[in-house]
Amino acid sequence: MILKAHEIADLVGGVVDGDGESKITKLSKIESGDSESLTFLGNPKYTEYIYSSDAGIVIVNEDLVLKEKIKPTLIRVKDPNSAFSKLLSHFNNSNTNKVGIDKKSSLHTSVKYGNNLFFDKFSIAEENVILGENVKIHSQVYLGRNVVIGNNSIIYPGVKIYNDSVIGDNCIIHSGSVIGSDGFGFNFDSNGNTTKVIHNGNVVIENDVEIGSNCSIDRATLGSTLIKRGAKLDNLVQIAHNVVIGSNTCLASQVGVAGSTVIGNNCLIGGQAGIAGHLKIGDNVQMQAKSGVLKNIKSGSVIMGYPAINYMDYNKSFVHFKNLPKVMGFIYNLMKKKDVN
């Protein structure tokens, strides 16, 4: 993509300071740009780099005062971070605007799809799949029977979506993730052998959800495993059968949620947190990384540790824990003196 400075200014609502005909073809960091790159100065800590940067165009705050001459053309805006985010989206859209069905893909004759479908090579859509407008299915994706994918959703290479799964509008699912596989459910027979519990439910993912790479979201035993609107899952997240993830809740990498647990809206769950099954987690809960949650959590709580407790209580307890060797040494010395006496 080639953009001129005045075109960029129009996109972000900025003012050109320098050559409005300057052209760029790519984005870069301010400390490593070249004459064909666009970058931004969003953090004052990096101001020094603007004087040595070889970038062609730099987005800066409208109030920036230069102390010496610079090479780049500037685009002055109210919020450089927000403006650069718009450009990231603009560049991304240009890279994901592919259209067409590859001859090496396979769509069942019953598949229905909207305008501007992209269906890449070696991908498969089984019976009665429904794909909305502007859906992008990259290579080696498998869509099982009756899968529904809403408008403007992007499914990246290698994703497997099992039968009956429903994906909403504006969703993104990254490579290697599996949606709708069987849950981890077994019973024991009279001889103590494990017998598989059949999972007849599905997975429902609402609008504006993003799922990272190599995640696994299991289908429900009955009913639906549900990921609500705006939820964000990092890479390597495990969601078990019949779990509900609330709207705008964010789960960092390696979080595991056991079966039938319900997590509220607007929660923030740190990496490697583990949540036991059949629990209720309220709205606006914050779990620190590596927390182990074994009981219901009230809305608005901030928790940490294993088993997880109130964050401030954990910090107070940790002070005593790290001093435990000294305390035990003191007690041991007292015991030795008592024995001597």
Question: Tokens 């592919």 appear where?
Answer: 98
Q: Which helix (H) or strand (E) holds 86?
A: helix 80-95
User: What is d(CA 52, CA 31) in angstroms, rounded to the nearest whole number?
Assistant: 8
| Range 8-35 average pLDDT | 90
| Range 121-134 average pLDDT | 98
pLDDT exceeds 90 at position 236: yes
User: Which CATH architecture best describes the domain 3-95?
Assistant: 3-Layer(aba) Sandwich (3.40)
> Looking at 35-39, 146-150, 224-228, which range is the least confident one?
35-39
List 108, 241, 278, 320, catalytic entry: 241
pLDDT exceeds 70 at position 251: yes
For residue 94, the model assigns a pLDDT of 61
pLDDT exceeds 80 at position 337: no
Q: DSSP of 295-323, one letter per residue?
A: S-B-TT-EEETTTTEEHHHHHHHHHHHHT
Positions of CATH 3.40.1390.10 in the chain? 3-95
Positions of CATH 2.160.10.10 in the chain? 159-307
Question: Is the alpha carbon torsion for 289, 294, 300, 302 positive or negative?
Answer: negative
What confidence tier does 127 reach under pLDDT thresholds 50, 70, 90? very high
User: What is d(CA 256, CA 270) in angstroms, rounded to the nearest whole number?
Assistant: 11
For residue 142, the model assigns a pLDDT of 98
Cβ neighbours around 25 below 10 Å, total: 13
Buried b / exposed e over 288-323, threshold 16 CB at 10 Å, is: beebbbeeebeeebebbbeebbebeebeeeeeeeee
Of the CA atoms within 13 Å of residue 113, those in its CB half-sphere come to 23
pLDDT digits (tens, 9 = 90+) for 174-229: 999 999 999 998 999 999 999 999 999 999 999 999 999 999 999 999 999 999 99
pTM of the predicted structure, to 2 decimals: 0.79
User: What is d(CA 204, CA 311) in angstroms, rounded to the nearest whole number?
Assistant: 33
pLDDT exceeds 80 at position 305: yes
Peptide bond into 307 cis (omega under 30): yes
| Range 147-174 average pLDDT | 98
CATH number of 159-307: 2.160.10.10
The residues facing 219 across adjacent strands are none
pLDDT exceeds 70 at position 96: no
User: What is d(CA 288, CA 268) in angstroms, rounded to the nearest whole number?
Assistant: 8
174 in active site: no
Cβ neighbours around 253 below 10 Å, total: 17
What confidence tier does 341 reach under pLDDT thresholds 50, 70, 90? low
Question: Tokens 């009279």 appear where?
Answer: 190
For residue 256, the model assigns a pLDDT of 98
Ranked by mean pLDDT, the top range of 9-23, 75-89, 220-234 is: 220-234
Distance from the first to the final alpha carbon of the chain: 86
| Range 299-328 average pLDDT | 84
Q: DSSP of 161-224, one letter per residue?
A: E-TT-EE-TT-EE-TT-EEEEPP--EEE-TTS-EEEPP---EEEE-TT-EE-TT-EEEPPSSSE
For residue 340, the model assigns a pLDDT of 59
